[in-house]
Amino acid sequence: MLMIILFFSLLSNTCSGQDHNLTIILVRHAEKAMGNSTDPPLTEEGKIRAAELAAILRYVPLDAVFSTPYIRTRETVRPTAEEKGIKLEYYNPGNEKELLVRLFERYRSKNGCVLIAGHSNTIHLFLNFLVGEDRFIPIKEDIYDNIFFVSASVPGKAGVLHLRYGQHSSSLPSSLHPHSPSRHSQCVRTGRRPGQGPSSEIFIFLKTGKSKFLPVEFYFRVWYCLTHEF
């Protein structure tokens, strides 16, 4: 753990000469209870995932945590907010663009980092606005393990790190369509478009829980420096 902390410190110093960037971490709410309720709570599996989210973000500095007003999104990010002593803030579905514009105004100048919980039909709206094109699609209803690390100096030119965390859902994330891996491995695809600068997108397919791979925070910090020129 000490080596990882020192590694993060080194990367932070290396990246400190960059233009100001806002980093946004996007997650869909965890597993919800099924039934007739229009505002269901998390299942026990969902509560476990919420705790795992707090664990993997333990060493990632956050300036704010946002959620929609629904119980399932609040319960997903509440453990993270409470562990960091951050007051949970709320936004309404349908106001994704307005929220992002406000976050860039508030946090970009200090290289801020914000966690946002959303829904299967809203996470792709955040992502498409941030990357400046319709690259992402809604997440399938039975997929709960996506986590996206996004960094940009301005909306429309973001780099995206797409990970999975916690217990794997039933299929590969539906928001992207990478080449199918021959086996569960830590890295499915990493690439750079010809003629462009640092890779704008890295897709990581992680085993978690009893995984022997490095923590999510490690990949996040590596990706951050790979996608910022210095």
Q: For residue range 197-230, list pLDDT tens digits in order.
A: 333 333 333 333 333 334 455 555 555 554 444 3
Name the β-bridge partners of 203.
Answer: 162, 189
Q: What is the rounded average pLDDT for all residues in the chain? A: 74
User: So where are the chain's domains?
Assistant: 19-226
Nearest one of 120, 127, 125, 122 to 141, comparing CA atoms: 120
pLDDT in tens, 24-74: 999 999 999 998 889 999 999 999 999 999 988 888 889 999 999 999 999
Q: Is the pLDDT confidence value at 109 over 70?
A: yes
Q: Determine the pLDDT at residue 166.
A: 83
CATH topology for 19-226 is Rossmann fold (3.40.50)
Q: Determine the pLDDT at residue 220.
A: 57
Q: What is the mean pLDDT of residues 111-131?
A: 95
Q: What is the mean pLDDT of residues 78-91?
A: 97
Distance, C-alpha 64 to centroid of its chain: 14
Name the β-bridge partners of 202.
Answer: 161, 190
Say if pTM beats, i.e. exceeds, 0.75: no
- Reduced to 3 states (helix: H, G, I; strand: E, B; else coil), residue 228 is coil
Per the model's pLDDT, the better-predicted residue between 31 and 187 turns out to be 31
Q: Determine the pLDDT at residue 77.
A: 98
